[in-house]
Amino acid sequence: MSTIKDIAESYQTFDPAAYLQNNYVPPRADFSDPDSVVAWKLKCLADACASGEIGGQILVDIGSGPTVYQVLSAFELFKEVILTDFLAVNREELKKWLHDEPGAFDWGPFINHVCSIEGKGEPWQEKRKRLRERVSRVIPVNVHQPCPLGTELAPGTVDALVSSFCLEACSPDYPAFVKALQNITGLLKPGGHVLMIGALEESYFLAGEAKLSVASFTEEMTRKAFQDMGYVIRDFRSYTMPESMKVGVDDVKGISFVWAQKKESN
């Protein structure tokens, strides 16, 4: 049975390039395949963001890792976007992309896909430029701390949170996941929104040398965690991993998408 400390240690060999290669190239990111998991995730996020109900000053992405796909719809609705990760290697990978440095991952196909969902006919390069301008900071985070962003952002100051595959991927068990959800909920203003994508019934994933253990739980447990925390669930969707997306880099069975709103009275 691993602990929060064991998991933090196993992240020390996390390889951002290997993680990107495992998850963000075809078949998982094949935009010509309607079953592609990445296309499903982008559609969930785009639909919530098209509702007209989400927006404000500050959006924080919790546990960005080396990826930006998860904010491609939401960033447009906020004045300032803050990316965060536990590992310096991931924060460096993000900065490489933000500064358009050689060797940065190519998020072009993902941005292009989100532009086609939005259907405004906008050249994807314009969205890329706007996102690069909108990100104000890339900062450390630890969801196991009562103030996950330390002194950078005080509790109750954030309008919305995005988080993808973070809380379960750094928690030893379901109670630790619930506690981490409580910690990030503290950052949100009353009435603030969370868009969360998470793994269902996954016990591990690989990122180069690193084998990370994941807190494994079901769709119902995900839903319950949000309800018990005092959120109203605005949308909940799940995806079953098809055989074609099982590429030997994890044992994930499915994915959940939650759009939840913190109650005004919390």
Which residues sit opposite 163 in a β-bridge? 62, 196
Contact call for residues 196 and 233 (beta carbons, < 8 A)? no
Find where tokens 């769709």 sit: 219
- Tell whether residue 149 is a contact of ligand SAM (CB under 6 A): no
Q: How far is the CB of 150 from ligand SAM (least distance, A)?
A: 12
Q: How far is the CB of 127 from ligand SAM (least distance, A)?
A: 19
Torsion of CA 39, 44, 47, 48, to 10 degrees: -150
Encoded one letter per residue, x for contact with ligand SAM by CB under 6 A and - for no contact, window 239-258 reads --------------------
Which residues sit opposite 195 in a β-bridge? 162, 259
CA atoms within 13 A on the CB side of 25: 10
Ligand-binding annotation for 2, yes or no, is: no
**Phi, then psi, of 199 in degrees rounded to 5:** -80, 140
Region binding ligand SAM by CB under 6 A among candidate stretches 43-51, 116-124, 141-149, 229-237: 141-149
Encoded one letter per residue, x for contact with ligand SAM by CB under 6 A and - for no contact, window 201-240 reads ----------------------------------------
- Tell whether residue 87 is a contact of ligand SAM (CB under 6 A): yes
**Phi, then psi, of 218 in degrees rounded to 5:** -100, 175
Q: How far is the CB of 19 from ligand SAM (least distance, A)?
A: 7
- Tell whether residue 58 is a contact of ligand SAM (CB under 6 A): no
Hey, how many other C-beta atoms are within 10 angstroms of the C-beta on 245? 20
Q: How far is the CB of 99 from ligand SAM (least distance, A)?
A: 19
Contact call for residues 241 and 251 (beta carbons, < 8 A)? no
Ligand-binding annotation for 231, yes or no, is: no
Q: What whole-number distance in Å separates Cα of residue 224 and Cα of residue 23?
A: 28
Q: How far is the CB of 80 from ligand SAM (least distance, A)?
A: 19
Joined tokens for residue 127: 């969205």
Ligand-binding annotation for 85, yes or no, is: yes
Region binding ligand SAM by CB under 6 A among candidate stretches 84-92, 114-122, 123-131, 257-265: 84-92
Read off the DSSP letter of residue 146.
Answer: S
Applying CB under 6 A, the residues found at the interface with ligand SAM are 11, 14, 63-65, 67, 70, 85-87, 90, 141-144, 164-166, 169-170
- Which residues make up each annotated binding site? 19, 24, 63-64, 69, 85, 90
